[in-house]
């Protein structure tokens, strides 16, 4: 079964709004957690700064639930009413591999543009 959740880009930078934004929510969550644990609101803000995409709470927590099931992130003890998460060792490996793939893809695309 597949569920689709819309993402909100309200309040995100609109420089090239017609072109869309990179917005794979699980990858965005992993990248946000790369520099240390964060709770949901902090991740939303960090992701908006990194990618220009502002994830809605449903999209964010759907991605978090999936990443937890896959043991890529884990919850930390609550801090007041905030529930932080951190990358697991497996999550760090997956993030490195995905970013390396994106780097190769970007380089290949840029080479194609330069060849024009």
* Residue positions counted in the chain: 116
- pTM of the entire predicted model: 0.79
Range of the domain at 38: 21-114
Structural domain includes residue 26: yes
pLDDT at res. 16: 45
Structural domain includes residue 14: no
Mark the ranges of the chain whose per-residue pLDDT is less than 70.
1-23
Structural domain includes residue 50: yes
Facing residues of 86 across strands? 74
Rg from Cα positions in the chain = 15
pLDDT at res. 76: 97
The vertex-7 CA angle with 5 and 11, nearest 5°, equals 160
pLDDT at res. 6: 45
């Amino acid at each position: 079964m597949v569920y689709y959740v819309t993402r909100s880009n309200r309040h995100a930078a609109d420089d090239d709004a017609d072109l869309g934004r990179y917005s794979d929510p699980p990858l965005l969550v992993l990248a946000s957690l790369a520099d240390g644990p964060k709770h949901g609101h902090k991740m939303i803000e960090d992701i908006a700064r990194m990618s220009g995409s502002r994830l809605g709470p449903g999209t964010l927590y759907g991605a978090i639930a999936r990443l937890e099931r896959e043991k890529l992130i884990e919850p930390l003890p609550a801090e007041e009413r905030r529930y932080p998460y951190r990358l697991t060792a497996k999550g760090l490996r997956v993030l490195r591999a995905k970013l390396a793939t994106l780097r190769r893809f970007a380089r290949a695309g840029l080479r194609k543009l330069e060849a024009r």
